Structure 1
Amino acid sequence: MYLLFVYEDDGSVMRSVPRIHFLDELKRAGHTLIIFNPLEYPDVEQFNEALAKAAGTVPVDLMVSLHGDELVRPETVVQFKRRGIPTLLFCFDNLQAPYMQRQIASLFDLVWLSSFETMPLFKSWGCTCIFLPYAANPYVFQPRFTTEIPTVGFIGTPYGTRVMKINDLLKGGVPCSLYSDYLLSNSSSEIIRTTSKNKRLVRIDPNDWNLIRFPIGRRILWSKVKKKITPHPQLLESDLLHIHSSVSLEEMNCLYSNFALSLGITEVWDTYLLRTPVHKIHLRTFEIPMCGGLQFAPYLDELAGYFEDGKEIVLYRTKEEYIDKAKFYLRSNKGSERRIMKINARKRAEQEHTWTNRFNNVFKIIFPHHSTRARS
């Protein structure tokens, strides 16, 4: 199948997710990919002119946009529809930023939401939606079992809820390993370990005003306000805390495979300050098990539906259970059980949570009779 992707790729790690995750996997599945990168054009207008022209000159079975109306103009989408080319809008951050696609979402034949909570909002705009969570590329994220690391491991910058979760483990006597250059910088360390002073009480960014317009957004906005009047969580200094530098993708795979437990964080932004935080399933949710890692995360009905607690993942419901389960699964005599659970997690991820599976679900809706437009 010929798939045209609108994808702004500057070659950075931050923009590499589509390339590493699903573009690579779709190529391996035999699809031909045509990438339209806005950064290769002088301005947005010229990019849209070229994209609209492609609707009539390039053999395409499906146009997929990974961006909203900041890059893709409504009239450009219309050109594909006039040519009879199906269109798909893939919304990565629809949970906390649905209005990024507001102006063009309803023009697409199908809108793919990675979080189900804002589906009513998109439907109110006249969109045809499908909810499919993230996934992981089984060719990139693979088990690399070596010597097990007998700690709870986390890769990424510790802030907010991450700091609080790690501190709870340290207070409970649970060893933790953190991988982040942020912690190895004196200036960054001071930011984490001290409370900022002389800040404005509340600073609302212009982009935050859209948060007022939907329920989850209002909870996120309230958490930002609370953050301004709440002391920042400070990462504890402890002999149980092992700090390392940031790692490459290959090294990350190996670490996820070999951490006894890999910490999964689901709270969105500053909502850990709320009585009921807003939770979101992240890419990490599927990367860890695809690497053969044993994920340790808060209980969510959605997450429990993807991996079976006690067999493929470790889930906790309370702070007490969080500490108890960490200690239980870190026991030295649980090594064989951990390995079995890790293998089970990889099998489940490989069977159900690949990008090929996700896109095939999309194709079934867009191409119900398996007919495609482009020629080989």
Structure 2
Amino acid sequence: MRILLSFLQDKTDQPHPVPGYRFWEFYIKNGINEAGMQYLEVPDADWAEGLIYTEGSAELQRWKDKTWQATINYIQNNPGKIDLFLCYLYPKQIEEHAIRQIQKLGIPCVNFYCDNVREFKTIPPQFKIFDLVWVPEYEALPTYKAAKIKHINLPMPIWVAPNFRDALLAKELPGATFIGSKDVLREQLLSEVMQKGLNVRIGGSGWLNTGNTNASAIPAKASLQQTLLNQYRFVQQHGLKGWAIRHTNRLQKAPVTVIPGDHLFESPAFEEYISITQNSTVTLGINRVPTYKKPNSHPLTYSRLRDIEAPMLGACYLTEYTDGLPHLYDLDKEIWSYKNANELVEKANELLKNKEKRTLLRRNGQQRALNDHSIPRSLTLIRKIIFG
């Protein structure tokens, strides 16, 4: 299968000023190659650039006009050489007229999107244009069914180099490790488990920030008119329930968090991240996310990218329970899960003391992820649905 690929590739020396995205290109291209398929790219198309512009702005429209016209031109100049258009597009990047043109040229269009649970109350109408939507979150499936959008539930597209596919070669580093950007829910959970006696090393963006962050976060006083406008826009996006949850979170007294500085390390580069994830005695996952859908006291949870990535790397993996996890793994023999801080501490300490159980999880979790959750398998299933 020959795939025209739009997966947040960019054309810049430095990444665009948006949350990390370059790993997607690395994963999907290697996965396509391993599947024995071929990917093609529109020359000079910077797909990630579309993320930096505000929806409805002239800059975004200029990017859409340029990029989508280049895509149509490329397809027309390469007749019979493309079987599928596979993309990772946010709603604001989608140009429905261009997608219809591609489909009229005989090329089905499949979109991957992975922030459905966090971002959407209802699925964006722009997604209806695609022949198929690749949905990695089990928790998002009812919303897609309600929207009557053709979709397929497949794992996050993760690719691991062959030299990292033998879990038993792991050289265990002491203790438990969590790698991920800092947010209020992760900070509260990790502080609680450390106060309960679990030794955790923590790395990722935001953890080593110094200075008075509270003072720097205080915005300039806005006019009454601007305040009302901001409130109106917020309610439009998140609804009255979201507005109420935001104020509930603000009124609740945040628990005191204490994470010693000597337990924190710099956000690792890609190769180091891979090594730490694979070699930590216990690698932790946290699946709660701060949103305006649920209060911080009872947060939204859903299975994340690391739930595929860590087991595929052969980690001894302990992650936060979500409804989607039993559909991915045997939660006794392949990965372990926890539902609260006490369970996290109890299970992590059990694993830290028992190499036999760690070895079982490393081996079984990796084989399950490589066999059932790989990009080649996902692409094969997509091809079967699209082409029969």
TM above 0.5, yes or no, is yes
Deviations, residues 339-358 of structure 1 (Å, cap 9, x unaligned): 23212211111111111111
Query: Separation in 1 of the partners of 2:294 and 2:351?
Result: 25
Residue 111 of structure 2: aligned partner = 89
Query: Separation in 2 of the partners of 1:222 and 1:357?
Result: 43
- What SS class does the counterpart of residue 137 from structure 1 fall into? coil
**8 Å CA contact retained: 1:69, 1:104:** yes
Query: Separation in 1 of the partners of 2:283 and 2:377?
Result: 25
Query: Residue 265 and residue 198 in structure 1: after superposition, are their counterparts in 2 closer, same or farther (change >3 A)?
Result: same
Note the 1:191-210 alignment, pairs <5 A.
191=213, 206=233, 209-210=236-237
Note the 1:47-58 alignment, pairs <5 A.
47-58=67-78
- What SS class does the counterpart of residue 43 from structure 1 fall into? helix
Following TM superposition, by how much is the alpha carbon of 1:313 offset from its aligned partner in structure 2, in angstroms? 1.4
Following TM superposition, by how much is the alpha carbon of 1:290 offset from its aligned partner in structure 2, in angstroms? 1.1
Query: Separation in 2 of the partners of 1:197 and 1:231?
Result: 18
**8 Å CA contact retained: 2:288, 2:301:** yes
Residue 173 of structure 1: aligned partner = 197
Deviations, residues 280-306 of structure 1 (Å, cap 9, x unaligned): 211111111111111112223421332
Structure 2 regions of 5+ residues with no counterpart? 51-61, 222-226
Equivalent AA in structure 1 for residue 279 of structure 2 = N
Deviations, residues 199-258 of structure 1 (Å, cap 9, x unaligned): 98996594773333xxxxx8766544433333555541449x622222111111111122
Note the 1:169-248 alignment, pairs <5 A.
169-180=193-204, 182-187=206-211, 190-191=212-213, 206=233, 209-212=236-239, 223-232=245-254, 234-238=256-260, 242-248=263-269
Query: Residue 19 and residue 116 in structure 1: after superposition, are their counterparts in 2 closer, same or farther (change >3 A)?
Result: same
Query: Separation in 1 of the partners of 2:126 and 2:36?
Result: 30
Query: Residue 196 and residue 60 in structure 1: after superposition, are their counterparts in 2 closer, same or farther (change >3 A)?
Result: closer
Residue 162 of structure 1: aligned partner = 186
Note the 1:363-374 alignment, pairs <5 A.
363-368=383-388
Deviations, residues 95-145 of structure 1 (Å, cap 9, x unaligned): 223489734322211122222444444445442122223142132764574
Query: Residue 98 and residue 180 in structure 1: after superposition, are their counterparts in 2 closer, same or farther (change >3 A)?
Result: closer
Query: Separation in 1 of the partners of 2:232 and 2:317?
Result: 34
Structure 1 regions of 5+ residues with no counterpart? 213-217, 369-376
> Does residue 1:43 correspond to 2:63, yes or no?
yes
**8 Å CA contact retained: 1:3, 1:63:** yes
Query: Separation in 2 of the partners of 1:276 and 1:133?
Result: 26
Residue 19 of structure 1: aligned partner = 25
**8 Å CA contact retained: 2:284, 2:318:** yes
> Does residue 1:277 correspond to 2:283, yes or no?
no
- What SS class does the counterpart of residue 134 from structure 2 fall into? strand
- What SS class does the counterpart of residue 63 from structure 1 fall into? strand
> Does residue 1:258 correspond to 2:279, yes or no?
yes
The range that moved more, 134-143 or 19-28, is: 134-143
The range that moved more, 67-76 or 343-352, is: 67-76
Query: Residue 18 and residue 219 in structure 1: after superposition, are their counterparts in 2 closer, same or farther (change >3 A)?
Result: farther
**8 Å CA contact retained: 1:163, 1:234:** no
Query: Separation in 2 of the partners of 1:121 and 1:340?
Result: 36
The range that moved more, 121-130 or 80-89, is: 121-130
- What SS class does the counterpart of residue 136 from structure 1 fall into? coil
> Does residue 1:346 correspond to 2:366, yes or no?
yes
**8 Å CA contact retained: 2:4, 2:39:** yes
The range that moved more, 21-30 or 288-297, is: 21-30
> Does residue 1:150 correspond to 2:171, yes or no?
no
Equivalent AA in structure 1 for residue 68 of structure 2 = N
Equivalent AA in structure 2 for residue 283 of structure 1 = L
* Aligned partner of 1:321 among 343, 347, 357: 343
Equivalent AA in structure 1 for residue 136 of structure 2 = S
> Does residue 1:306 correspond to 2:364, yes or no?
no
The range that moved more, 91-100 or 60-69, is: 91-100
Query: Residue 162 and residue 78 in structure 1: after superposition, are their counterparts in 2 closer, same or farther (change >3 A)?
Result: same
* Aligned partner of 1:268 among 285, 289, 296: 289
Following TM superposition, by how much is the alpha carbon of 1:147 offset from its aligned partner in structure 2, in angstroms? 3.8
The range that moved more, 218-227 or 9-18, is: 218-227
Query: Separation in 1 of the partners of 2:356 and 2:195?
Result: 27
Query: Separation in 2 of the partners of 1:150 and 1:272?
Result: 35
**8 Å CA contact retained: 2:334, 2:364:** yes
Deviations, residues 161-203 of structure 1 (Å, cap 9, x unaligned): 111221121111111101236333423xx438x9966898996
Query: Residue 67 and residue 185 in structure 1: after superposition, are their counterparts in 2 closer, same or farther (change >3 A)?
Result: same
Query: Residue 43 and residue 319 in structure 1: after superposition, are their counterparts in 2 closer, same or farther (change >3 A)?
Result: closer
Query: Separation in 2 of the partners of 1:366 and 1:104?
Result: 20
Query: Separation in 2 of the partners of 1:299 and 1:170?
Result: 19
**8 Å CA contact retained: 2:8, 2:22:** no
Following TM superposition, by how much is the alpha carbon of 1:307 offset from its aligned partner in structure 2, in angstroms? 2.0
- What SS class does the counterpart of residue 152 from structure 1 fall into? strand
**8 Å CA contact retained: 2:88, 2:113:** yes
The range that moved more, 38-47 or 194-203, is: 194-203
Residue 9 of structure 2: aligned partner = 9
Residue 101 of structure 2: aligned partner = 79
